[in-house]
Amino acid sequence: MLYLSTRGHADRKRFCDILLEGLAPDGGLYLPVEYPQIDDAKLTQLRTTLATQGYAALAFEILSLYIDDIPADDLRALCAKTYTQEVFGTEAIVPVRTLEGNLRIEALSNGPTLAFKDMAMQLLGNLFEYELTRRGETLNILGATSGDTGSAAEYAMRGKQGVRVFMTSPHGRMSPFQQAQMFSLQDANIHNIAIEGVFDDCQDIVKAVSNDHAFKAKYKIGTVNSINWARLLAQVVYYFAGYLQATSRNEEKVSFTVPSGNFGNICAGHVARQMGLPIAQLVVATNENDVLDEFFRTGVYQVRGAVNTYETSSPSMDISKASNFERFVFDLVGRDGARTQALFAEGVAKQGQFDLSQDACFQDAALKYGFVSGKSTHADRLATIKDCYQRLGQMIDTHTADGVKVAREHLRHEPMLVLETALPIKFAATIEEALGRQPERPAKFDGIEDLPKRVVVMPADVEKVKAYIQQHCD
């Protein structure tokens, strides 16, 4: 399997090369040259695999379609090491439960940091350690987080041989629990950098450093953000697992609703659908930062500056520049690298927008690719959390509430799976506002907010971040 850049670079690379690289040399994102196809017989085999061998075996089957430069036995062992009941708290790993009627919840938040990011990050940590050991190399991971990626990456990489993590986050914009999860870690290979700005400033810094090829090469900079294909690939697996749990026959279809900020989570659903998984709709649920909803309604993709990026009660979606959106747009415009380059490197980078509303391909977003969207507000969030708890007896977090609210607007006859992205304790203040009570807290996190913090605050300045990395690597 070879991989190409969304912006048309001539290079074709193997999986383990892009695993450690992050962005392509032209600033594009990597995608497979073609999506492997799942026919009826293969889907039946995957159904049997999940039922008899479990999630780790399913993960191996999906990943092996994309990874041919890690020996099969090694890849199988990496999956088995990653997806265990001990780490994820349940034998099913991603159990599906009914909320009401055809509306289901796929629980992705049982990992070490109580957020869906653990599903990919735990695998990524093991892949990094495996490949770096095989090469005798080291890697300095530079990341950006709006809340959950950072802690998931740090918990996955802490103590790993040959890996340092430099994680940027928007200063003061994460929940106290999210901040405590990251900043309380005292491991020598973990570095937290709080940026005076919003998540998009953090993301821009990561991309700027990745595009400084001399610096990137000298300091062996890699990424764990969802611009890393390996992370997105790991997420494809739970779409298959959700589908297989919600159906008994391959003729059945399901839909998925995904709380979306950076478009990585739902982009994995797009990949699964392109592989042939019978997905009817992919429903994008945004909060007040509704750039993606605006695109799927109007065809106009218009990013917003820091002053117009709202601070909300579903903070992991407080994003106005969705990194992974480029992967979908590349497919939408017929995998035209030059066109994608013009839309993002010219349109977004220079004008802050592009407009496909009059382009015939825009209709394909819904008709060919199954995308629809909706928006949720703070008031919607509170009402949904309250309804789910008082009427249905289930407590959900703020982001999952955004998903449930939008999912209800798009319900049809097939099962609708909402991806649960975090546990309620991560956003306790809003849960208490909605329900008048605190959510349950796992015992291992008691008193986490009171632990000593290890974090440095910096302005949104690429050179200062680079200097900090140099200081800790030289």
Please answer whether residues 281 and 417 qualify as being in contact, where contact means their C-beta atoms are separated by less than 8 angstroms. Answer: no
- E strand residue ranges, 270-334: 279-286, 300-302
User: Which of 277, 267, 240 minimizes the C-alpha distance to 330?
Assistant: 267
DSSP tag of 427: G
Place of tokens 């008031």: 379
DSSP 122-179: HHHHHHHHHHHHHHT--EEEEEE-SSHHHHHHHHHHTT-TTEEEEEEEETT-S-HHHH
- Bridge-partner residues for 191, per DSSP? 166
Q: Long-range pairs for 159-163 at CB < 8 Å and ≥24 separation?
A: 159/187, 159/189, 160/125, 160/128, 160/129, 160/189, 161/129, 161/132, 161/133, 162/128, 162/129, 162/132, 162/133, 162/137, 162/138, 163/125, 163/128, 163/129, 163/132, 163/138, 163/139, 163/189
444 is a catalytic site residue? no
Check 13, 42, 81, 117 and give the catalytic one: 117
CB atoms within 10 A of CB 389: 18
* HSE, side-chain direction, 13 A CA sphere, residue 26: 20
Cα–Cα distance for residue pair 341/353, rounded to 1 Å? 13
For residue 229, give the amino acid letter: W
Q: What angle do CA 455, 460, 463 make, to 5 degrees?
A: 95
Q: How far is CA 376 from the centre of its chain?
A: 19
Cα–Cα distance for residue pair 176/156, rounded to 1 Å? 21
Please answer whether residues 361 and 37 qualify as being in contact, where contact means their C-beta atoms are separated by less than 8 angstroms. Answer: no
Listed in sequence order, the residues at least 6 apart from 63 whose beta carbon sits closer than 8 Å to its beta carbon are 75, 79, 233, 234, 237
Place of tokens 């997905």: 279
Strands 353-355 and 300-302: antiparallel
- Bridge-partner residues for 142, per DSSP? 166
Q: Which residues are catalytic?
A: 117
